[in-house]
Amino acid sequence: MDADAADGRDETAAERSDRNWSEILQELRVTQTGTQLVSAFLLTLAFQQRFVQLPHYELVIYGVLVGLAALSTVLGLAVVSIHRAQFHHHDKPQIVARANRILSTSIWIVATLTAGVMLFIFDFVFGLLAGVLSAVVALLVIAWLLFVIPRNVRAQR
């Protein structure tokens, strides 16, 4: 058996890869669902009557947000594509490693998209200052939750 006794789990390398792949798929489902909802919201905006009245800078923000949503979707699809390309090639550790890097990138793209949506909505409803403030607060909360806390958890191990 090729289990790593140091990690407290009684599993082979293949079992570990299978477990890690399942965890990646669960995380991917969360990011993809969120991105699909934001994408749908963004796509419906372009068909609203007031959309043509947006100032140029709001159209630029909108375009960036649509681009980020599309990029996040493509990153999720890339994970699936890598799995499809390597299916039955007995190379799951490499698939897991690549998918992990892609999913980590996707998380930051979705986080940026979230802050951008805050900017866009608060700017549209309350004005540019409120939009910028909401985006800054969102970025601070995101940085705390996605960078500081995980780093502290890792350091405590």
> Structural domain boundaries of the chain?
12-46+53-156
Indicate the fold that domain 12-46+53-156 takes in CATH: Four Helix Bundle (Hemerythrin (Met), subunit A) (1.20.120)
Is the pLDDT score of 146 beyond 60? yes
Q: What is the pLDDT of residue 109?
A: 95
pTM equals 0.84
The closest alpha carbon to 105, from 76, 85, 133, belongs to 76
| Residue-wise DSSP of 77-108 | HHHHHHHHHHTTSS-HHHHHHHHHHHHHHHHH
Q: What is the pLDDT of residue 74?
A: 94
